[in-house]
């Protein structure tokens, strides 16, 4: 059964950076799709020697606003 992870993607300079929110893994690419593909590959390599978790509690994603 597949395990679903959450990725946050940010634009940093010339790169799109994809970070997994459940595991401290990140990757990058010139486009969002490339960054996500690289992140998937990095996660697959990370879990080669570790068992996939049976379940993952989804992270809470919230926006925080600061006054300037």
Q: What is the pTM of this model?
A: 0.87
Does residue 1 have a pLDDT over 80?
no
Q: What is the CATH number of the domain that holds 17?
A: 3.30.160.250
Structural element, H or E, at residue 42 = helix 32-46
Q: What is the pLDDT of residues 28-57, one digit of tens each?
A: 999 999 999 999 999 999 999 998 988 888
Sheet containing 26-29: give its strands across.
Answer: 7-12, 15-20, 26-29
Domain count, the chain: 1
Q: Which domain covers residue 9, as residue numbers?
A: 1-68
């Amino acid at each position: 059964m597949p395990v679903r992870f959450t990725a946050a993607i940010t634009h940093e300079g010339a790169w799109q950076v994809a970070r997994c929110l459940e595991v401290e893994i990140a990757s990058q690419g010139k486009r969002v799709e490339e960054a996500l593909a690289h992140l998937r590959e990095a996660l697959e390599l990370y879990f080669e020697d570790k068992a996939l978790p049976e379940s993952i509690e989804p992270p809470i994603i919230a926006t925080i606003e600061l006054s300037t």
